[in-house]
Amino acid sequence: MTRRRKSTLTVAAACTLAVGLLISCVLFAAVGALEYGKMQLDFEQRANLRTSAIQRGLNEAVQVLKVTNQLFVAAAPVSRQQFHDFTAPLLQQYPFIQAFNYHRIVTLAERPAYEADMRREFPGFTITEHDNGVLRPAGERPSYDVVHLLEPMDANRRAFGLDSGYTPQMQRAIDEILTTGEPRSTGLLKLAQSKGNEPGLVMVTPVYRAGAPVGSAVERKAAWQGDTATVIRATSLVSKILQSAGLLADSGLALRVYIGAPAQAGNLVFSHGELPDAPGAANPLARWLAFHQHALYRQTYTVLGQPWEMRVTALPQPFIDTHLGSLCTLLGGVLFSVLMAALVQSLVLRSRRVQMLVDARTTELRLSNERLAADVAMRKHTERALLDSEQRFRRLLALSSDWYWEQDAFFRFTSITDGFFEKGHISPGRFIGRTRWDSTPEMLSTRWGRDHIARLEARLPFSNLEYAITGDDGVLRWYNTSGEPVYDARGEFKGYRGTGSEITERKLSEQRIQHIAHHDVLTGLPNRALLQDRLGQAIAYANRSGHPMWVLLIDLDRFKFVNDSLGHKAGDQLLKTVAERLQTAVRSSDTVARLSGDEFVAILGESNDAALSPDIVQRVMQAVAQPVLLEGKEFFVTCSIGVASYDGNGNAQHLIEHADIAMYAAKKMGRNMFQFYEPAMNEEAQERLRIENALRKALERGEFALHYQPQVDLESGRIIGAEALLRWQHPELGLVSPARFIGLAEETGLIVPIGAWVLRTACAQAREWLEHSHGHAPMRMAVNLSARQFSQPDLVQTIAAVLAETGLPPACLELELTESVFMNDVAQAVSLLRQLKALGVTLSIDDFGTGYSSLAYLRDFPIDVLKIDRSFVNDIVTDPDDAAIVVSVIALAHNLKLRVVAEGVENREQLDFLQQHGCDAIQGYYFSRPVAPEQFEHMARQGRHLDSASSTMAA
Ligand SMILES: Nc1nc2c(ncn2[C@@H]2O[C@@H]3COP(=O)(O)O[C@H]4[C@@H](O)[C@H](n5cnc6c(=O)[nH]c(N)nc65)O[C@@H]4COP(=O)(O)O[C@H]3[C@H]2O)c(=O)[nH]1
C-alpha cells in the first residue's frame, strides 16, 4: 500500500497567495479610491448640476422681475390691462410664479381717496393687512405699500389691496432696497393668497418717480413711488426648475434648499430624497450593503440679498453598484491570487516532483555513470590488456624465433611473418601462394609428409611438425611448426594458421646428444648402445647377403698397469690412441666401438672385394702393438682378441659373449694373442657366470669363512699378526680360491658387502684372540681393502663402527691397500688415508712393486707398512733383478720409517735373504699357509716361532 503524501501549502505558493492578496487589496483600495473619487466627482457634478439649475431658475426669476419693473419705468403709469398683457405670458412660462404685483405707495392721507377710487372698479376694496394667516383691513399707518396691480387676479384675489409692507420681512426688504438701491427678496413667508402651507417669497424692485434722483437712500426714498414684486412659490420654484431640467429622477441624491440664514428646518424650501437614518439604527447587513458616501455638496447663493443654501447629500447606494470595479478587482485579484498560488503550488510541487525525479534520475545516472565508468575502465583495462598482450605477442614474436603463418582453404600460404624468411634465408616466393609440399616436395614421398597432408585433409590440428629446408644461402635449416584449422562464423573451413620456429640449433644439439648418447666420449667411437644397433644392422646385412661377419672383442693387456702407474690421463691417452689405430686398421664400412674400459669391439663385414681372414685380426693386433708415447716414455701395449664369427644363428648379444669368451681364452694363452670362439669355451664362461650367481647368494647363506696367515717378526721369529684371507666354501664347487672370485666380486660390486663382512669377522676374531692372549703381545689383524671398498663414501664410518662394535683397539687393525686405490684422485686418497690414520689403525701397501709410481707416493702417504709382492720374493734367490728390487725396497722403506713385510716366503733361502737385508717381517708358506682360526689359535697357543717353523718345514 502506498502512502499518499500529504501535500501542504508550499512557501512559494503561500507567498504568491499573500502577495496576490496584498496586491488585490491594494488594487481594491486603489480602485475603490478611484471609484470613490469618481463617485465624489459624479456626486459633485450631479449636485452642481442641480444647484446650477436652481441658480439659473432664480436668475431667470430675477430677470423676469426686472423685466416687469422695466415695464413701469418705460410705460408709467401702467394700466391694469397692460400689466395683465405683459405678465400673462410670463406666468405661463414660469409656473412657479404665484403672482406679479405692483405695489403702490399710498399714504394714510391718500388712503381714503384711493380706496374710494378703487372701489369703483373693485367694490369693497380696502387696504388690508395680513397677519399670520389672518387678512384684515389695514390699520392706520403713515403709508401703505398696497398691492395695486395683481396678476393673475383670480388665484391671488386675497392679496389684492394688501399692504405688503405690513409684514416685517417685506418691510425689511423695502428698507434694504432703499438703502442699497438694489432689488431685494424677502425670506420665506406665508403668503396671504396661499391657502396651503406652501411658503413663498417676494422679490421686490423699486419703482421711482420718473426723473427723480435716486443716488442716495434719501433720494431713493423720496423718489420711491412703489415697487414691482414677483411672488414666488419657493417650493414650486425649485421643484419646477429641477423638474424642467429632469433632475429629480436621481434617487442617489437628497436635495435640501434653504432660504435665509441659518439653514434650518424653518427655512427649508425644498426637500427631495430621504436622508439616511443615523448610524446603527439600520440593519447592519443593510448598512454594510448600502454604501454611504457621506458626501455633502453645499452651495450658497444670494438672490436679491437673500441667501439661498442648497445642500445636496449623497444617499447610500448598494455597495455592489458603487464598488463593482473594486469588488471585481478584489474578487478577480483574490481569484487570480488563489489561481496563481495554486499554479505556483502545482509548479512547485511539480518542480519538486521533477526535482525528485531529476534527483532519482541523477542518482540513477550517477550510478549508471559509475557503472559505465567502471565498464569503460574495465573495457579500457581489457583493451589495454589486449593491446599489451598483442604488443607482447608481437614483441615476443619479434624477439622469439617464432613466426606466424596462415594458409587458405587449399593449404596455400597466404601470409608468413617476416622472421621465417629472414631467419631461413628464404625468398617469400618459395612459400607464398604455394603449399608446404610444393616447397618441400620430399613430403610427398615420405611417410611423415603424407601423414601431415592426411591430417590437413582431415582438418585436424597438428603440432611439432619438423622438417628441413635448404635456404637460399645453401644452408640446411630445421623448422618446427604447429597449426590448427580455421573456420569462419558459419563454420566453413577457411584454411590453417599456426606458428613456426627454427630449430636448427636444437636439432644440432639433439644430434650432438644423440652422438654423445651413442658414442664414447673419450674415443669418439660408437658406444655399447650404438654397437648393438650396428651389430643388428650387420647381422641383418649378413642374413640378407649371406656374407660372413665377425665380431672382435679386443682387450688391452696390462692396461690396468698403465692406468695405475701412469694415472688416468695417460690411460685415457692410450685408449684414444688405440681407438684411432683400431679405426685405421679396419675398413671404413666396419664398425669399431668401445665396449667398456679397455675393451673394444670391431664388427667386420665381408665385401665382394675383400674376404674376411685372420690377417685382418693380425693387422689389428699389430696396429695396437705399435709403441705409444706416454708422458715422454715409449710404451708397448698389446691386446688379446676374441673373435666370434656369425654363422647365421644367434643374436648380437650372443656374438659379443662369444667374442668375450674367446678373448678370455686368448688371455689365458698369454698376452698379444687372439682366439676364435669355439663352443667349448663357453663352458668356462658358463662357470664364471655360475660363480657370479652363487657369489651373490654366498653371503646370506654363510658360505664365506676367513683363514688367517700368520705374519712373523724376523727378529724375534714370533707371530706378530695375521692376514685375514677370504675363503668360500661352495656346496658344489667346494672351497673356491679368492683368485677365482675376488676379481668377479670387484667387477660386480659384491666386494663391498663381502668386504664389510670380512672386516667385521676379522676384527671380532682379533678381539677374541686379544682377550685370550694371556699376557702375550697383542697381535695385529691385517685385512684386505679392495679399490671398490676404498671408494665407498662411508668407508671411514664403517671401519670406526666395526671397531666400536667389536671393541678391537684400532692399533690392532692393519688395512692392506693396493697401489691402485691411490691412482684415481691422489689428493682425495691422501685425505682418506689421513682420516683412516686418525682412527688409529695401521695402513699397509699390499703387492708393493707391481705398480709404476710406487716410490713416488710413499713419501707423502701416511703409510706404516710395505708388503713386498710375492712375485718379487719368489725369485730373489735366483733373479738378481728381483733381489735388487727387494733390497732397494727394504732400504727405501726403512728410509721412510716404514716396516717391510715380505709376502710369499716359501723357503729358507728367501727367508735368509730377507733377514740379511733387514726385512722386518715375513708371511708365507714357509712359516704357515693361511689356516682356519682354530689352527691359528693352536699355533699361537703353542708359541710357534720361526725356528720351530723351519724345523716343521724341514720335517
Ligand atoms: N704361492 C704362495 N702363495 C702364498 C704364500 N704365502 C701366502 N700365499 C698366498 O698369497 C696371497 C696373499 O694375499 P694377497 O697378496 O693379499 O692376495 C689376495 C688378496 O689380494 C685377495 N684376497 C684374499 N682375501 C681377501 C679379502 O678378504 N679381501 C680382499 N679384498 N682380497 C682378498 O686374494 C688374493 C689371493 O689370496 P689367496 O689365494 O688366499 O692367496 C694369498 C696366500 O694364500 C706362499 O708362500 N707361496
Report ipTM (2 d.p.).
0.95
Task: Give the CATH number for residue 662.
Answer: 3.30.70.270
68: pLDDT strictly greater than 60: yes
Instruction: Report pLDDT for 2.
Output: 41
Instruction: Report pLDDT for 364.
Output: 82
Same domain membership, residue 526 and residue 489: no
Instruction: Give the other-Cβ count within 10 Å of 424's Cβ.
Output: 23
pLDDT in tens, 89-103: 888 888 888 888 888
CA of 738 to the centre of ligand 1 (A): 7
266 part of a folded domain: no
Share above pLDDT 70 across residues of the chain, in percent, rounded to a whole number: 93
Q: What DSSP letter does each residue of 75-124 carry, written as one string?
A: HSSPPHHHHHHHHHHHHHH-TTEEEEEEEEEEETTTHHHHHHHHHHHSTT
Ligand 1 close to Cβ of residue 725 (< 6 A) = yes
Global pTM reads 0.42
74: pLDDT strictly greater than 50: yes
Same domain membership, residue 664 and residue 527: yes
Burial of 122-143, coded b for 16+ CB within 10 Å and e otherwise, reads: eeebebbbbeeeeeeebeeeee
Same domain membership, residue 833 and residue 702: yes
Same domain membership, residue 725 and residue 863: yes
Average pLDDT of 754-767?
96
Q: Cα–Cα distance between 212 and 203 in angstroms, integer?
A: 23
Ligand 1 close to Cβ of residue 485 (< 6 A) = no
Question: Which atom of ligand 1 lies closest to the CA of 724?
Answer: 27
Same domain membership, residue 812 and residue 920: yes
Burial of 750-783, coded b for 16+ CB within 10 Å and e otherwise, reads: bbbebbbbbbbbbbbbbbebbeeeeeeeebbbbb
Residues forming beta bridges with residue 231, ordered by sequence position: 99, 202
Task: Give the CATH number for residue 844.
Answer: 3.20.20.450
Same domain membership, residue 598 and residue 705: no
Question: Which atom of ligand 1 lies closest to the CA of 707?
Answer: 39
Q: Mean pLDDT score of the chain, rounded to an integer?
A: 85
Residues forming beta bridges with residue 162, ordered by sequence position: 128
615 part of a folded domain: yes
Ligand 1 close to Cβ of residue 789 (< 6 A) = no
Average pLDDT of 609-618?
82
- Protein residue closest via CA to atom 5 of ligand 1: 904
Q: Please list, in sequence order, all residues whose beta carbon lies within 8 angstroms of the beta carbon of residue 738, skipping any fewer than 6 positions away.
A: 725, 726, 727, 728
Q: Cα–Cα distance between 386 and 382 in angstroms, integer?
A: 6
Q: Of 679, 709, 735, which marks where a domain is finished? A: 679
Instruction: Report pLDDT for 746.
Output: 86
Task: Give the CATH number for residue 484.
Answer: 3.30.450.20
Ligand 1 close to Cβ of residue 930 (< 6 A) = yes
Ligand 1 close to Cβ of residue 742 (< 6 A) = yes
933: pLDDT strictly greater than 90: yes
Range with the largest mean pLDDT of 71-85, 811-825, 873-887, 906-920: 906-920
How many domains does one find in the chain? Answer: 3
Average pLDDT of 485-489?
93
Average pLDDT of 653-663?
87
Q: Cα–Cα distance between 113 and 125 in angstroms, integer?
A: 11
For the record, the C-alpha cell of 127 comes out as 387696504
Pairwise pLDDT comparison (561 vs 461), residue with the higher score: 461
pLDDT in tens, 535-576: 998 998 888 888 889 999 999 987 877 777 778 888 899 999
412 part of a folded domain: yes
Q: CA 436: distance to chain centroid?
A: 46
Per the structure, the complete domain to which residue 940 belongs is given by 698-954
Average pLDDT of 415-430?
87
CA of 780 to the centre of ligand 1 (A): 17
Pairwise pLDDT comparison (751 vs 315), residue with the higher score: 751
The answer to whether 699 touches 667, Cβ cutoff 8 Å, is: no
pLDDT band at 949 (very low <50, low <70, confident <90, very high): low
64 part of a folded domain: no
Pairwise pLDDT comparison (392 vs 526), residue with the higher score: 526
CA of 725 to the centre of ligand 1 (A): 6
pLDDT in tens, 225-276: 888 888 888 888 888 888 888 888 777 788 888 888 787 887 888 888 877 6
If phi > 0 it is left, if psi is from -120 to 50 it is alpha, else beta; for residue 495 that is left
339: pLDDT strictly greater than 90: no
Which of 619-623, 685-689, 871-875 has the lowest average pLDDT? Answer: 685-689
Q: Of 499, 527, 550, which marks where a domain is finished? A: 499
Same domain membership, residue 764 and residue 628: no
Share above pLDDT 90 across residues of the chain, in percent, rounded to a whole number: 28
Which of 64-68, 467-471, 719-723 has the lowest average pLDDT? Answer: 64-68
Same domain membership, residue 705 and residue 594: no
pLDDT in tens, 799-822: 999 999 999 999 999 999 987 777
CB-count burial class (<10 Å; 0-12, 13-18, 19+) for 338: middle
Which of 430-444, 547-561, 790-804 has the lowest average pLDDT? Answer: 547-561
Q: Cα–Cα distance between 929 and 924 in angstroms, integer?
A: 6
pLDDT in tens, 715-743: 999 999 999 999 999 888 788 889 888 98
854: pLDDT strictly greater than 80: no
526 part of a folded domain: yes
Same domain membership, residue 905 and residue 872: yes
Range with the largest mean pLDDT of 187-201, 298-312, 362-376, 816-830: 298-312
pLDDT band at 843 (very low <50, low <70, confident <90, very high): very high
For residue 553, give the nearest of 673, 445, 444, 634 by alpha carbon. 673
Question: Which atom of ligand 1 lies closest to the CA of 789?
Answer: 30
For residue 899, give the nearest of 929, 919, 885, 880 by alpha carbon. 919
850: pLDDT strictly greater than 70: no
Instruction: Report pLDDT for 3.
Output: 45
Q: Which long-range contacts (CB under 8 A, 24 or more apart) does 168-176 make?
A: 169/202, 170/145, 170/202, 170/204, 173/202, 173/204, 173/305, 174/145, 174/204, 174/206, 174/227, 176/305
For the record, the C-alpha cell of 843 comes out as 695402513
Q: Of 447, 468, 499, which marks where a domain is finished? A: 499
Q: Please list, in sequence order, all residues whose beta carbon lies within 8 angstroms of the beta carbon of residue 488, skipping any fewer than 6 positions away.
A: 494
Ligand 1 close to Cβ of residue 906 (< 6 A) = yes
Average pLDDT of 828-848?
90
Pairwise pLDDT comparison (910 vs 955), residue with the higher score: 910
Instruction: Report pLDDT for 955.
Output: 36
Q: Cα–Cα distance between 936 and 928 in angstroms, integer?
A: 9
Instruction: Report pLDDT for 4.
Output: 46
Ligand 1 close to Cβ of residue 722 (< 6 A) = no
Strands lying side by side in the sheet with 143-151: 143-151, 97-107, 224-233, 200-208, 184-185
Same domain membership, residue 709 and residue 674: no
600 part of a folded domain: yes
941 part of a folded domain: yes
Same domain membership, residue 527 and residue 470: no
Same domain membership, residue 850 and residue 708: yes
Instruction: Report pLDDT for 209.
Output: 84
272 part of a folded domain: no
